[in-house]
Amino acid sequence: MAQLNMVQAINQALSQEMARDDRVLLLGEDVGRDGGVFRVTEGLLERFGRERVLDTPLCESGIMGAAIGMAAYGLRPVPEIQFLGFTYSAFEQLFAHAARLRSRSRGRYSCPMVVRTPYGGGIKAPELHEESTEALFCQVPGLKVVVPSGPYVAKGLLLAALRDPDPVLFLEPTRLYRLLREEVPEGEYLVELGKARVARPGNSVTVVAWGSMLERVLKAVEGYDAEVLDLLTLNPFDSEAIISSVQKTGRLVIVHEAAKTCGFGAEIAATVAEAAILHLRAPILRVTAPDVPVPLAKLIDYYLPDAQQIRFALDEVLQY
């Protein structure tokens, strides 16, 4: 079985789904001739032609609006926004139109599109290129939010997203694009949306993470009897898997690279407090970035949660 990185796994998923379903098409800045800012769509223009791989002007709201129209028409568009920080100018299209098309039309129309965008820190890029504001989008009913943590799940999640009848925001951790290689089957397989996976079994503490933080968490918990959950989908998230694990371990640490205040960890903590507080032996702790704008390149390593911070949190909850 081939060992692929995340760029190659996502490219393979797009290529296979475009071959299977001629309604799938790509659009975005530089997705055609240049193969995308990280070369994720490299070679797809040559294989599928200009009618299905469209280079667009520099206009995120226009890209999103065109994709919504295509989806309502019956196509399966995959708009790429070069970085999550550039998605804000298209937020109105996502919030007011894509996510509401099904409810607004009483089910007559849907918006089956997958918005792909690189996100997260660790590549020492300029301002707005390392944002991790996934919680903003998780509060949009009707919009699914998916975050792969490695090449294998990236391919399976993307294929599942491409066949979903409603809009999906697919957040691709830039730090992981070429960091990891995993065995990825050449044939198609789906990873179900809305389901977490146990990345590492354990009994003493539950650690919840997603995206690029999972790789960091798995290294940090070496030597601990920790159960690590990889959330994979943030909206809707697998609350049953988290509660079940916390009922077993009695402790919960949540790790994410977004800022702490109103980060998605707060939603997880509230859910566990509502459903499983009597099973907790220790306070719920969050390991996050500080509540400041994402810094420029020289400070990014101080901004992102590191293994030492994660181990401090584990030691603290294990005191109880």
Q: How many CB atoms lie within 10 A of CB 253?
A: 28
Paired tokens of 139: 């509060």
53-55 sheet: strands from edge to edge: 53-55, 24-28, 76-80, 114-119, 168-173, 144-146, 233-235
**Backbone φ, ψ for residue 235 (5° rounding):** -140, 110
**97, 129, 256, 279: which is the annotated catalytic residue?**
129
Task: Give the integer Cα–Cα distance in Å for 221 and 24.
Answer: 41
| Known catalytic residue at 129 | yes
Following CA atoms 131, 267, 202, 176 in sequence, which dihedral angle do they give, to the nearest 10 degrees? Answer: -10
Length of the chain, in residues: 320
> Do 115 and 181 touch, CB atoms closer than 8 A?
no
Contact 143, 70 (CB under 8 A): no
Q: Cis before residue 290, ω within 30 degrees of 0?
A: no
The residues, any chain, with a CB within 8 Å of residue 181's CB and separated by 6 or more, are 3, 4, 5, 151
The residue among 206, 249, 248 whose CA lies nearest residue 229 is: 206
- Tell how far CA 170 is from the center of its chain: 5
- Yes or no: say if 207 and 215 are a contact pair by the CB < 8 Å rule: no
Instruction: Indicate which residues carry an active-site annotation.
Output: 129
